Amino acid sequence: MKIRVSYSKLGKIRFTGHRDVAHMWERTMRKAGIAVAMSVGFTPRPKMAFGLALPTGAESLIELIDITLDPASGVTADQLDSIADRLSTSLPVGMSVTGIRECAGTEVSLQEGVVATTWVMLVAEPDGGPDIASAIERVNNSAEVLLTRERKGEKHLDNIRPGILELRSADAELMSSLPADWIGESVGHAIVAVLTTSGRGIRPTELVEVLVPESDPPINPWDHLNRVLRINQWIERDGERVDVLTGRAAHTSVSA
């Protein structure tokens, strides 16, 4: 059986990287005593497929992993809830399972299927120049937003506006729906952004670069990005963005 598991990554553990998380999951499955199917070949690897990498330093309410269980694990569909608990206990502090379901072999892989993710970002107001609220308005009213990015060691000037699918200030309702201790002592202007992950996706740090005034030498976006939290991942179905785990459409959940 293949299962799709969603999990959160909050707090100190956010400073681990994507490879670290892959190793954590391998150890977690063994600690929980749930046998994972192995690939065949010279160096067998556990059959685990990870979703889009979460940047080191970013938090998430919804990270995704597909795991193929070994038939010998004896796990059946009605046991999935209890497995979720076992996994949460075995995961490091700051990570816990938020959803689990059986995943048909025909479903598109997480890497290919996810087209956009929603982020809540806490951005420090810049010392000089326009504030974040007016920067958001400027971006929304522009057909073109240019950002210099590096590809294969060369600098390219890209228009990232088409990849910014939604951008606005976060309202109180959204903020109160987030985990109570998420922000900690961090401060800043809270924004919500839906960013494309197709092709060369747009990273939260890249959005920050176009929201704060340019400077020389270039800013370190992490000087402004006090917190960043992924709250949703979307796949496309019949031309509509739907939640990758629940299948609910975007308009019902993106602002919730």
Partner 1 sequence: MTSLWSRLEPLLARVRKPARYIGCEDGAIVPQHGHGKVAWLLAYPDVYEVGLPNQGLQILYEILNERPDAVAERTYAPWVDLEALMRERGIPLFSVDSHRAAEDFDILAFNLSSELVFTNLLNMVDLAGVPVRAELRSPTDPIVMIGGHAAFNPEPMADFIDVAVLGEGEEVIGEITEVVREWKASGRTEGSRLAVLKALAQIPGVYVPSLYGVEYDGEHIREIKPLYAGVPERVMKRTVSDLGDWDYPRNPLAPITEVVHDRLAVEVFRGCTRGCRFCQAGMITRPVRERPAEQVRSMIVDGLQRTGYNEVSLTSLSTADFSGIESVISSIVPDPTACGAPTVSLPSLRVDAFTVGLAAKVAGGRRSGLTFAPEAGTWRLRTVINKLITEEDLYGAVESAFASGWSRAKLYFLTGLPTETDIDTQGIIDLAAGCVAVGKRHTGRANVTVSIGGFVPKSHTPFQWFGQNSVPELRRKIGLVRDAATKTKGVNVKWHDPSASLAEGLASRGDRRIGAVIERVWRDGGVFQEWSEYFKLDRWLDAMAAEGLSPDFYITRHRDEKEILPWHHLSAGLHQDFLWQDWRASLNEFGLEDCRWTPCYDCGVCTGDGLEHIVASPIPPAGGSQGTGQDLSRGGITPVTLRSKSSVGAS
Residues that bind partner 1 in the complex, under the rule CB under 8 A:
12-13, 15-17, 19-20, 23-24, 26-31, 35, 42-43, 56-57, 90, 92-94, 184-186, 220, 222-223, 225-226
Q: Do residues 169 and 190 make contact, with C-beta atoms less than 8 angstroms apart?
A: yes
CB atoms within 10 A of CB 170: 18
Q: Which is nearer to partner 1, 4 or 14 (CB)?
A: 14
User: Residue 193 is inside which H or E element, if any?
Assistant: strand 189-196
Q: Which is nearer to partner 1, 91 or 254 (CB)?
A: 91
CB of 147 to partner 1, least distance (A): 19
CB of 256 to partner 1, least distance (A): 28
CB of 93 to partner 1, least distance (A): 6
Structure token digits, residue 201: 């996706």
Q: Which is nearer to partner 1, 17 or 71 (CB)?
A: 17
Report the alpha-carbon distance of residue 2 to residue 108 in Å, rounded: 13
CB of 255 to partner 1, least distance (A): 27
CB of 41 to partner 1, least distance (A): 10
Amino acid at 253: S
Residues 6+ apart with CB under 8 A from 15: 56, 57
The angle subtended at Cα 241 by Cα 166 and Cα 212, nearest 5°, is 20
DSSP string, 125-152: PPSSSS-HHHHHHHHHT-S--EEEEEET
Q: Which is nearer to partner 1, 79 or 186 (CB)?
A: 186
Q: Which is nearer to partner 1, 79 or 220 (CB)?
A: 220
